[in-house]
Structure 1
Amino acid sequence: MRQLAEARNNAELAERRMIDAAPLQESVGDLERALLGDPGWQRFTAVTQQEFTGEGMRQMRAVCRLMAIANPLIRRGLNLRSAYVWGQGVEITARANGQRDGEQDVQAVVSAFLRDDANARAFTGASARDRLEHALGTDGEFFVVLFTRPRSGWVQARVIVADEISDIICNPEDRSEPWFYRRTWTEVSYDEHGVQEPRQREQLYPAVDYRPVMRPKRYAGLDVDWHAPILHVDVNRPEGWQRGIPDAYAAVNWARAYKEFLENWATLMKSLARFAWRLTAKGSQRGQAKARLAAPPPVDSAGSPQDVGGVALTPIEQQLEAIPKSGATIDAESGRPLAMMVSSALDVPVTMLLSDPGQTGARATAETLDQPTELAMGQRRELWSQVMLRVLRYVIAEQVRAPHGGLQGTVKRDPVTGREVVRLAGDTSDVIDVSWPDLDDADPVKVVAAIKAASETGTVPPELVLRLLLTALGVRDVDGIVQPMLDDEGGFVWPRGPGEVDGPASYGRAGADPALSGVGSMRPDGWDENADCGCEPDTDTDGDLDDGDDGGLEEDAGLTVPNVLLDLREAMSDRNLRKYWLHGKGALKIRWNTGGDFSRCVRQLGKHVADPKGLCAVYHKQATGVWPGDKRNR
């Protein structure tokens, strides 16, 4: 009986709880029905699942373009992004510059493409890069079409706006692999009377990474231009979508809200400015007060109105006071959170966006680039690096493929991936370096000190040290300074300072130990070395650069022996001399990489070079990879 009573009580308790919860269940149900029954929510869900429609994307891009022109916040935000990315410039260089034996000049091909006037106007120039960065902000994407001449391999880069690409045809089995881009545009020509003749055109362009073995002239009923592949550059593209989203899209509504706030604030200030004083008077005095206020102000002796600094004399029954502003004014800083939403959408600091650190800010705050912004701009720079590298790889490949191209090599298809692989002849590297300056204002003194410390390790080539130093000092034309300091084989030629003579400094410039120069001369200044020196004339006239004991070896053809002693700079820049002692029969005499090679080099070159130890130190490094005296050389 007791268990039955407990069960009955529990049932009643559960029933009461269900009755109490009924209103809550009904409220949740109503909310769910309202959410699912709203056509707006259904349309939004369907659109986001299937991507925005083409017409919706065009409208979105049009709004963003208009806001980038008319709204100061959007305009400045996009200008800041472009300045962060491109303001300090970029250096694009190929490692192969044709200076070494058998090496092709890839740098010449890269420079010709980048500096071409037409390419610079459309894609590679400073104005074009700024314009395309703004296009990513307002359109979210652009399309680079690479028109190619099959015989010469010359590539012309042009940009197609996003509105002209109506469809992207992908691999049926892989949506992330584009095959063709469908372009629809209106071509306008003129007849002999100057009348426009518009013509609707439609064509397919292959993706730059899509080059099948069989390339049909038509696909899906449209002509295909295989000599004009397209590289699609997009940003903010959600996973599974095909088109990019503008940077400014997330900031448009907040920029409009900030604009409306400032307009309302200005309207309020204008309204408050209409009334400055309030005159309180009793009923019988109101007419007199109104007439007095309407009367013109008094004048001084010169007839000028005294409308500033006048004195108000009122009866006891009248009171003149300023209209109180408390509770009626709104500070313009109250709209700062709206501007912060715009800055968040564009990934720029609000202090930079408003050109004002704010009431609680400071100059240091306004001039500091925070780490999230620095990372965001670095990410955009990385995107541009990949774009430039992909375009230049295509340029190099077409120069190899063309029968009259500027580079020699092979273009073969990988049997595993099915993609084309380009190999340059002569063991030439196709690596291209894209170097960006630091976004932060690094102290040049500290940077130079770090480069100097790295150079002193003996592991950094002098050409790279010079490039790093010039970049740290903000020099723009680095290649124009470095190239004249390289000899025909790519070796670095050290400059000589004004009035500088060979000695310990020459060894230091050559990367050797200055102590190798030995003890300096103890003779007074102006001493004539040829006067009464007791020296015997040089009797080595057989042209073998040897002391006579050559073991019967014949000298290399075409090598001319100098009749005078060469200084270190002249000897290092002598290409024939280096070939002879590093790779010719002179190398057989020295026997590099064996015990005593440095001493044999000094003995062999002593009669022909003023500083044989310095030159031999450099030759030793080039022949063996280590400096004389290095523990790895023991």
Structure 2
Amino acid sequence: MGVLDWLGLREAADDPEMKRLKGEVETLSFRLEESYEQLSRMFSEDAGWSRIGEQTERDLTPEGRKQATQICRVMAIANPLIARAIAVRTGYIHGNGGIGVQAADGKESGTQDVNSVLQAFLDDPGNRAAFTGHQAHEEWEKKLATDGNVYAILFTNPQTGFVRVRTLDSLEVTDIITNPQDASEPWFYRRDYEETTIGERTSRVTTRQKTVWYPALGYTPTRRMPVIDGNPVDWSAAVHHTAVNKVGKYGLGDAFPAIPWARAYTGFLDDWAKLTKALARIAWKLSGKRSTAQQARAALNSLPEAGGVVGMDPNTQLEAVPKTGATIDAESGRPLATMVASAFGVPVTTLLSDPGQTGARAVAETLNQPTRLTMQGRRDVAQETYRAILNHVIDQAVLAPQGPLKGGIKVDPYTQRQEVVLGNDDDRTITFTWPDLDDVDVAVITKAIVDADATGKLPPLTTMRLLLRALGERDVDETLEQWTDDDGNFIDPTTSAGDAAVAAFERGEDPADAIKRQ
């Protein structure tokens, strides 16, 4: 018997229970190693997602939004693809006359002229320059493409109720306070900006940093706090915020996801141009004896223009350099441009301005259903902004002591919200009209209007309004004004002066005035 046997160690080594435990330990060790490798892979994937999340958080900080806005603004000027995409969207949305506004004109007995109040606001030179004019519409759409946010600030004359609208730089709006119980309801907007003044005596230009809070449009608390965080609140103005691609409180420009692909397409074209230029440097290959080749080369270099003739001996050969193996197809970068078109929701054929080569012309000139709905959706965004601001214009015209409209405030029994109403429950509905997105043949539209009028169900003014819009008349309201009397009745252009005078006399009006209108 050995020492191990005497100590009992050999028996322990051969014990079946020990073998089983040893096997379990080895199995658990193997499973632990597998689990560790799997966990490592999961951590690696999570780390990637973590970086994406951190990047998103950085992009949505005030500094990140400012940097993104500045980059988008530069690209909208410097990159032709981004500039073209913004121009195409603007043309689809606001082109061909843009939005039309109509309200009750007060020609019915006892009603108020709401339309004149709205038209005075729309036609004001300052408002046209900042909000209602065509150039303002282009700047509006460009801001949505680069900034993703447009802040319209409304100043109201406390006596007359006339409203002036201007826009704030989105980089100046640094914070938004919302309802603590409802994040979708803004209360205040913080504006940090530099105020520039000119001294009255010294004529020196001085700047100073200012911070002002503005209430949101429609926010009318019972108690108006004068100061927030030590900075004043300007209750004489209200801010309406339009945001697209909204994340949290702020929007993100349409150009933001398109920038990497626009840069990639620009780089592709740059490389393609370099390759083409390199291939163009050597167009002919001259082979032969050295002296003869040098003479021929000198003769070729002395040719002043294309179409010249050079004389060579039979041992010298002149042949064009083959382009076999040289890839100079610029259309290979089309998928990159498609990504830019996708970001803006426009057809790539329209974006590249090349329907003849890259697609059927009929397809390029016609909007498909998704594009049409995208542009109509952006029109609805603009229409909602118009609706909110124009309703504010009507409210202020009622509430001001010298306002042109009469009415008051009542509490809605269902929503318990205060609302401004016109006297005698006059209609304050605002009607918006847009030109068709597709270029439909004028003859087809005119025939449809004529057929509808032949049914005798359409009022003459409605028929005339539809015809004027179909023919591309810009200011339909002013044209209709010339063909209506003081009570809003339609004056038929084919009616003679005598018939108009008789009709006016039967209505109890002055026949002379009717003849003058004829």
- Distance in 2 separating the partners of 1:319 and 1:489: 93
For structure 2, the 5+ residue unaligned runs are 1-22, 511-518
Structure 1 residues 87-141: Cα deviation after superposition (integer angstroms, max 9, x where no partner): 1123534331121111111111001100001111111111111111111111111
- Distance in 2 separating the partners of 1:492 and 1:473: 20
Using the size of structure 1 for normalisation, the TM-score is: 0.71
How far off its partner does 1:84 sit?
0.9
Map of 1:248 onto structure 2: 255
Number of matched residues?
484
Pick closer, same or farther for the CA change 1:268–1:572 going to 2, 3 Å.
same
Pick closer, same or farther for the CA change 1:310–1:26 going to 2, 3 Å.
farther
- Whether the 8 Å contact between 1:397 and 1:411 is mirrored in structure 2 is no
- Whether the 8 Å contact between 1:151 and 1:404 is mirrored in structure 2 is yes
How far off its partner does 1:442 sit?
1.5
Map of 2:265 onto structure 1: 258
Superposed, which structure 2 residues align to 1:277-316 within 5 Å? Answer: 277-279=284-286, 287-288=290-291, 291-292=294-295, 295-297=298-300, 308-313=308-313, 315=315
- Distance in 2 separating the partners of 1:381 and 1:424: 28
Map of 1:231 onto structure 2: 240
How far off its partner does 1:257 sit?
0.7
Pick closer, same or farther for the CA change 1:24–1:452 going to 2, 3 Å.
farther
Map of 1:506 onto structure 2: none
Structure 1 residues 376-412: Cα deviation after superposition (integer angstroms, max 9, x where no partner): 1111111111111110100000010111111000123
Pick closer, same or farther for the CA change 1:23–1:327 going to 2, 3 Å.
farther
Equivalent in 279, 288, 292 of residue 272 of structure 1: 279
- Distance in 2 separating the partners of 1:211 and 1:121: 28
Structure 2 counterpart SS, 1:490: coil
Equivalent in 185, 188, 191 of residue 183 of structure 1: 191
Equivalent in 208, 231, 235 of residue 217 of structure 2: 208
Structure 1 counterpart SS, 2:397: helix
Note if 1:577 corresponds to 2:508.
Answer: yes
Structure 2 counterpart SS, 1:573: helix
Structure 2 counterpart SS, 1:205: strand
How far off its partner does 1:273 sit?
1.4
Map of 1:31 onto structure 2: 41
Map of 1:218 onto structure 2: 227
Pick closer, same or farther for the CA change 1:493–1:358 going to 2, 3 Å.
closer
User: Aligned partner of 2:237: which letter?
Assistant: A
- Whether the 8 Å contact between 2:105 and 2:112 is mirrored in structure 1 is yes
- Distance in 2 separating the partners of 1:574 and 1:114: 37
- Distance in 2 separating the partners of 1:390 and 1:159: 15
Structure 2 counterpart SS, 1:485: coil
How far off its partner does 1:492 sit?
1.9
Pick closer, same or farther for the CA change 1:448–1:573 going to 2, 3 Å.
farther
Equivalent in 348, 367, 387 of residue 365 of structure 2: 367
Q: Identity of aligned pairs, percent?
A: 42
- Distance in 1 separating the partners of 2:451 and 2:34: 73
For structure 1, the 5+ residue unaligned runs are 1-11, 501-565, 580-634
Whichever of the two has the greater Rg, that structure is 1
How far off its partner does 1:80 sit?
0.8
Pick closer, same or farther for the CA change 1:24–1:337 going to 2, 3 Å.
farther
Superposed, which structure 2 residues align to 1:33-112 within 5 Å? Answer: 33-37=43-47, 41-46=49-54, 48=56, 52-112=60-120
Using the size of structure 2 for normalisation, the TM-score is: 0.86
How far off its partner does 1:207 sit?
0.7
Equivalent in 426, 429, 439 of residue 428 of structure 1: 426
Structure 1 counterpart SS, 2:424: coil
How far off its partner does 1:212 sit?
1.4
Structure 1 counterpart SS, 2:222: coil
Structure 1 counterpart SS, 2:440: coil
Structure 2 counterpart SS, 1:163: coil
Superposed, which structure 2 residues align to 1:333-372 within 5 Å? Answer: 333-357=331-355, 359=357, 361-372=359-370
Structure 2 counterpart SS, 1:343: helix
Equivalent in 123, 135, 144 of residue 136 of structure 1: 144
- Distance in 1 separating the partners of 2:492 and 2:275: 71
Pick closer, same or farther for the CA change 1:487–1:268 going to 2, 3 Å.
same
Task: Supply the RMSD in Å over aligned alpha carbons.
Answer: 2.9
- Whether the 8 Å contact between 1:146 and 1:230 is mirrored in structure 2 is yes
Structure 1 residues 269-290: Cα deviation after superposition (integer angstroms, max 9, x where no partner): 1111122233556xxx5x5466
- Whether the 8 Å contact between 1:269 and 1:329 is mirrored in structure 2 is no
How far off its partner does 1:436 sit?
0.3
User: Aligned partner of 2:98: which letter?
Assistant: V
Pick closer, same or farther for the CA change 1:324–1:94 going to 2, 3 Å.
closer
